[in-house]
Chain A
Amino acid sequence: MYIEKARVDSIQTLVPNTYLLKVFSPLIASKIKPGQFCNIKVSETDYPLLRRPFSICEVDGNYLHFMFDVHGEGTRILSSKIIGDEIDILGPLGKGFTYDGVYKTAIIIAGGIGAAPFPYLVESLPKDKEVHCYIGGRSKNNIIDYGMKNISVSTDDGSLGYKGTIVELFKQEYEKFKKDSVSIFACGPNPILKALQEFTIAKNIDCQISTECAMACGFGICQGCPIDNADGDGYYLVCKDGPVFDARMVRL
């Protein structure tokens, strides 16, 4: 784990309100794995006070990419960074995806900004794996297909692709993958993950979910980010034990 002052190389708008930030961060870039995250201090002052956790979106040599929506003061400040600005990044943090198992097809399921960790995962999958990406959003303006392959789309309002949630769409199409072994990798709003978790546990399909929770430190000392274990008799920490969990391990 490192704390690195990273220089902003570029920042672009992917879809309205969703940004892709590229920073020069060679130490973290050399170590970080798909599904892990970094905790970013967006200002040099005490406001906002805490770091903000962001999944690693892509690694390109010495550069890290982070994909984020603006939904509060921290992300607003981050979105206004310009080339040459320095940001303070702590990482790599947490446990990422396990993707080298015995399966034929990797199925990515992303809801909204839940697309963030997948470009790096898709890029890192062993070459013999097939990939199919299911991407959901509220409307066509929220569909983020950056870095994805073999895409199926759903929108809540039906403005693009299937009308409904991405998990509903996946459930309908699951039959076509059924004969082969699949491994599912998912990230998105809790109701989506919950519906997927129910389905994959019932069908006994391997599924890893990337969870999120408000946190302060990102490495286990604040104890601020508990998630119920499957039995409900204890907690894991999202930052240290996750953010990626086997869907069977946690209660959402």
Chain B
Amino acid sequence: MSFVDQSIQIGSLYLKNPVLLASGTVGYGNEIAQFTDMSKLGGIVTKSLSLKPRKGNPPQRIVETPSGMLNAIGLANVGVEVFIKEKIPFLKELDTTIICNIAASSIDEYVECTKILNSVDIIQAFEINVSCPNVKEGGLIFGNDLNSVGRITEKVRAVTKKTLIIKLSPNVSRIADFAKVVKDEGGDAVSAINTLVGTAIDIWTRKPKIKNVTGGLSGPAIKPVALAKVLEIKRKVDIPIIGIGGIMNWKDAIEFMIAGASAIQIGTVNFINPNAGVEIVEGIETYCEKCSIGKLSDIVGSYQI
């Protein structure tokens, strides 16, 4: 029996531990459940949902880069209606927290999606994706505009009392300004960061390796950038942060928490080691025991600068 309290509180959202599976890297939970015990995780953030189904981008959608990968999936998803009918029954059986990620092409669509999903009991929080780099409408057009992020937060806030998290883009010059707008408009937390815009070119054909020309860079290659963004927000804005970006193991997770993240999400690593989340929870446990930390949340933002 463990004496380490890994529980985390973000707004009204209670997590049994800080390890969440990131949106877009675990679908709706069913595939990864074959490899890992979901009940040991803090929660799962489902693949971005839009009002109507989206087919996604044509191949090639992904390419590997040094210690990272570029993806341009294009928000392929089943849409809100099919999600509720076909995916919720499985998610209901999981003994873990369900956070629903929403991506949209207009402010109205964000609001409409949230309204519909708000009535689904097992969804305990919303993560609003204003930072997908791979779609023409919505995505980054919102994500790097302070005014848009503010309006989306305000309008979505008005239709749900559930915990509201805004997923921020790193493709901006001052991410803390965006976190401040989220806080001012009633958001409960921010997730940082979404992927960085990147590309790769085949030198023989001179064509981009990704059909969409650019994609979102993820994986260990982006960890230092993500950490710096988390730190920047932590030092300037008083809002809970969910740290994301290249976390591969428990050491990375602890590093993000020290930099200011209340919880963390893992993404790319799920593709390589679908049991990574559980291993991270166990690693955090051992770390806390070694360092005589009784309550994990005490280390959040404990950097010595």
Q: Residues of A with Cβ closer than 8 Å to B?
A: 1, 3, 41, 46-51, 90, 213-217, 219-228, 233-235, 240
Contacts and interface: CB of A to CB of B under 8 A. Distances in A.
By Cβ-Cβ distance, the 4 closest A-B pairs, closest first, are A224-B62, A217-B271, A216-B271, A220-B31
Nearest to A227: B59
Nearest to B76: A223
**For the complex, would chain A's binding face be called helix, strand, loop or mixed by DSSP majority?**
loop
Interface in B52-70: 55-56, 58-64, 66-69
B248 A224 contact: no
A47 B66 contact: yes
Nearest to B32: A221
B124 to A, nearest CB: 21
Interface of B: 24-27, 31-32, 34-35, 47, 55-56, 58-64, 66-69, 71, 73, 76, 219-220, 248, 268, 270-275
A222 B26 CA distance: 7
A224 B61 CA distance: 5
Chain B CB within 10 A, most for which of A1, A225, A235: A235
A213 B55 CA distance: 17
Contacts of A217: 270-272, 274
Contact of B271 (A46, A47, A222): A222
B248 A222 contact: no
A214 B210 CA distance: 11
B35 A50 contact: no
A3 B219 contact: no
26 contacts: A3-B35, A3-B273, A3-B274, A46-B67, A46-B220, A46-B248, A47-B67, A49-B67, A49-B68, A51-B271, A214-B59, A214-B60, A214-B61, A214-B62, A214-B63, A214-B64, A216-B271, A219-B34, A221-B31, A221-B274, A222-B25, A222-B62, A223-B56, A226-B58, A227-B59, A235-B55
A243 B125 CA distance: 36
A182 to B, nearest CB: 31
Given A220-B27, A220-B31, A49 B69 contact: yes
A90 B31 CA distance: 13
Given A46-B220, A49-B69, A220-B27, 18 more contacts: A3-B275, A41-B272, A46-B219, A49-B268, A50-B64, A50-B69, A214-B59, A214-B64, A216-B69, A216-B71, A217-B270, A221-B26, A221-B27, A221-B31, A222-B62, A223-B76, A224-B62, A227-B59
B56 A226 contact: yes
A221 B61 contact: no
Nearest to A237: B76
A78 to B, nearest CB: 15
Given A215-B62, A222-B71, A223-B61, A50 B272 contact: yes
Nearest to A45: B67
Contacts of B274: 3, 90, 217, 219, 221
Given A225-B59, A226-B61, A235-B55, A49 B27 contact: no
B47 to A, nearest CB: 8
Chain B CB within 10 A, most for which of A46, A214, A219, A220: A46
Contacts of B271: 50-51, 216-217, 221-222
Nearest to B47: A223
Chain A CB within 10 A, most for which of B66, B69, B271: B271
A213 B268 CA distance: 18
Contacts of B24: 223
Contacts of B35: 1, 3
Nearest to A228: B58
A127 B224 CA distance: 58
A3 B279 CA distance: 14
Nearest to B67: A46
A223 B216 CA distance: 14
A2 to B, nearest CB: 9
A194 to B, nearest CB: 15
